[in-house]
Amino acid sequence: MQIRSVLFIVGVLLACVGASVLLPLGVSLWYGDGAFLGLLSSLVIMIGGGLALAYSNKPEEELHLTLRDGFAVVGICWIVASFAGGLPFVLTSEASLTDAVFESASGFTTTGATIFPNVEALPHGLLMWRSLTHWLGGLGIIVLSLIVLPLLGVGGMQLYRAEVTGPTPDKLTPRMQDTAIALWKLYGLMTLVLTVLLYLAGMDWFDALNHSFSTVATGGFSTKNASIAAYPQASIQWILIVFMFIAGISFSLHSRALRGMVTVYFRDRECRFYTGLLLLGSAIMVFNLVENRLFQADTLAEVEYVVRAAVFQLVSICTTTGFVTENYNLWPALTLVIILMFTLMGASAGSTGGGLKVMRLVMLFRLAYMEIFRLLHPHSVRHLKVAGKSVPTEVISGVVGFFLLYLMITTVGTLILAAQNLDLVTAFTATLTCISNVGPGLGSVGPVDNFSHLPAFSKWTLTLCMLLGRLEIYAIIVLFVPEYWRD
């Protein structure tokens, strides 16, 4: 592995993260919120440290990264960003190192779990930094899920390799840069459009920009303690529903749709599955809520309200955004089971969302069906196909292995949290929501609660879960395998 090349890239990334502090720095100066010096110190430390690291490891020749280098870049960059991103929280608030890293990792992994019980008391500059970590994390996730992970062959993501970039199988290519820039332009356009729409619907510019950063990145940080419940306007909630849904679809489909291939959404199996499950789940939740008399449905306005409440929560959970408008901790058991199922499932591969990904579930369901068919017809020969093409054996094993690791990590995380005297519901849902990068869980980490009361070791455990989930597990685990570091 080319250690110097990897450290050079990490240094450049650290400097870029530091430079992004300029936006919250300007916001702090504008509002005079007292966070200016802390943010300025963070900027200087990150840019200075990043440039020093990059300069001291500057390669003498042009960078040519291998697959092994790619794993190191992906894993180390996200870890460094999570620690460096905690600096503004330490220097501008009373957050401890544990809380600061948790909040930063939650931001960059677009999880949205927070340790701040009163976010409205935070300086405007720090609120902007929280939301910006989401947006920056989303930028990285788009490239990670559509370019880097398919190239590295992580968890069946090879399916996206030829579709998006067509790189050679043994090294990163310059074509990735053009693809990344095109995807980032689309990402920025969505952010701009959503900001304007939220402003027109009743938010001020500051809140509109913050919530746009969180929505497009499917993050979930809000500038309000009550999250989106602080905005009772139906127009704001429906706008967010639409954009959360869009953000949960693969950006490669959006890119092709903008080039005139609009029917790509209807032809894509994963997109159809994603949409159909959301419609089915929302319908069941609406009927269950009305049946249990938690909501009235006697007038058209009441019907719209219960439909909006159910659809908003399910879309928010499925896309792993994590915004809330209702305390669904109080909802019937059936709706909570549906919420947990969609927490596990997550959004589409190639989106900014987390979770198992719809693509993998589609493949697992088809594998189960093929096994049943094989039992009934033992002499038949059938191959798993996606989009009309046979899926290679290594992709199938990658998906199955990823699913098993996902369940194992969730189980271990639950045991660790339960061992620290957390109730089972809290321990399980906190672990699941963090590895799925959703944000709110159930129990004492529910939609109207936060993670501030958890023991320090639980927070570090959940921080690791967030990173594992965001980097598709393998990209982190491989760094701890001794063979990886051997030439």
Which amino acids are annotated as binding site for K(+), given as ranges?
110-111, 219, 320-321, 437-438
- Give the pair of three-digit tokens for residue 293: 């008399």
Binding residue positions: 110-111, 219, 320-321, 437-438
What is the end-to-end Cα distance of the chain in Å, rounded? 7
Rounded distance, CA 148 to CA 96, Å? Answer: 33
How many whole angstroms separate alpha carbon 57 and alpha carbon 9?
9
- Residue 232 has a CB neighbour count (10 Å cut-off) of 10
Half-sphere exposure of 251 (CA within 13 A, CB side): 31
Cβ(80)–Cβ(471) below 8 Å: no
**How does 298-311 read in b/e, with b if 16+ C-beta sit within 10 Å?**
eeeeeeeebbbbbb
Q: Which amino acid is at 305?
A: Y
Place of tokens 């970039």: 165
CA distance 356 to 469: 9
Cβ(398)–Cβ(153) below 8 Å? yes
Q: Under a CB-based contact definition with an 8 Å cutoff, are residues 426 and 442 in contact?
A: yes
- Element spanning 389, H or E: strand 389-390
